[in-house]
Amino acid sequence: MGDKKIMCLVCGRIFYEGQGIKINIGGQELVFHSKSCTIKFFKSLVLYLDQKNLGDAVKMTIKEFEDRISEIREKTKKKLEAL
């Protein structure tokens, strides 16, 4: 683990490099000490986004996850049929 200390963007907690969550987005490195701080940040970020673009992004994300679930179910079904 590194000796460098980092501060969480949301709660201000100080923690060591190698812990927490780092995300590079929008040309910025965002650092959070926990998943709950990460979720708080993104919930707030969503409020600042253009609602039309956000709606399109939500639809595309839902489709992505629905496709993944369908693929998983299809693979499971094929495995069960093979037995």
**Sequence spans of domains, the chain:** 1-48, 49-83
Question: Terminal CA-to-CA distance of the chain, rounded, Å?
Answer: 47
Q: Give pTM, 2 decimals.
A: 0.73
**Tens digits of per-residue pLDDT, 7-18?**
999 999 999 988
Residues 30, 8 contacting (CB under 8 angstroms): no
Three-state SS across 9-65?
CCCCCEEEECECEEEEECCEEEEECCHHHHHHHHHHHHHHCCHHHHHHHHHHHHHHH
CATH of 1-48, one of 1.10.1740, 2.30.170, 1.10.10, 1.10.3470: 2.30.170
**Tens digits of per-residue pLDDT, 4-48?**
999 999 999 999 988 999 999 989 999 999 999 999 999 999 999
In a 13 Å sphere around the CA of 10, the CA atoms on its Cβ side amount to: 19
Alpha-carbon distance of 79 to 72, in angstroms, equals 11
